[in-house]
Structure 1
Amino acid sequence: MMRISDVLADKGRTIHQIAPSVALREAAAVLLEKNIGALICADRVGGIVGILSERDVARAFARMGADLVTMSVGDAMSRDVVACAAGDSVEEILDIMTETRCRHIPVVKDGEVLGLVSIGDLVKAMKRGA
């Protein structure tokens, strides 16, 4: 059975974090520049307070239009973060992502962020492992 730790070993453990106080337009630029779908929103000590995804940026734009430029990451991020552990099975986490309509899940251990996996990472890993 494939585990989340296998996915992290393959994709790497690079973690892109951002503070909730950062301007939303700056966060959108980071998503574009790094070609990633989400940023972990962390407090000053590195604790997860939310996730900002491309979908969150699109929702903020739909709600605020041109006023989007006045928004911060904290105004747009998703606060109900679902996390997983490195030992969780890929299949189990795919089920959770499907049920919660969540495309990115941080991998944590004892409050420390080990990485971030996307639904695409998990599908790719399953295809390779099949």
Structure 2
Amino acid sequence: MQHLPAIVVLLTVLLQMGTMWAAGHAREKYGIKAPAVTGHPVFERALRVQMNTLEATVMFLPSLWLAAQFGFPLWGGLAGLVWVVGRVWYAVAYLKDASKRGPGYLVSSAGWALTLLLGVIGLVRALMVG
């Protein structure tokens, strides 16, 4: 289970690739020429999913690293899996109907908050010992 955080990172990269593909596919399907970021509502939702997931990833990955690096690779990895599942749920729901994105967002936020908490606890513990 020591490799679980690395598996979560790989899943996060695949998630990013999926959101990039969905936005690009919607751009092509609905004829939204770059650099436009508005147009058909399906494209706009796909672009928001991509950008929101990217923004969340920037906060999530350092938290996962802290948790894994400072003594909680298993629990950090499990919390990371919760984050990935929540983000996938969020993305699928948002692509169908923006008003349905809330539960996935809450699940992913809980996963992120837990990785951050574990990282802070582990770092404080390491600073106090070392």
With the length of structure 1 as denominator, give the TM-score of the two structures: 0.30
Whose Rg is larger? 2
Relative to its length, the structure with more strand (as a share) is 1
TM-score, normalisation: structure 2: 0.30
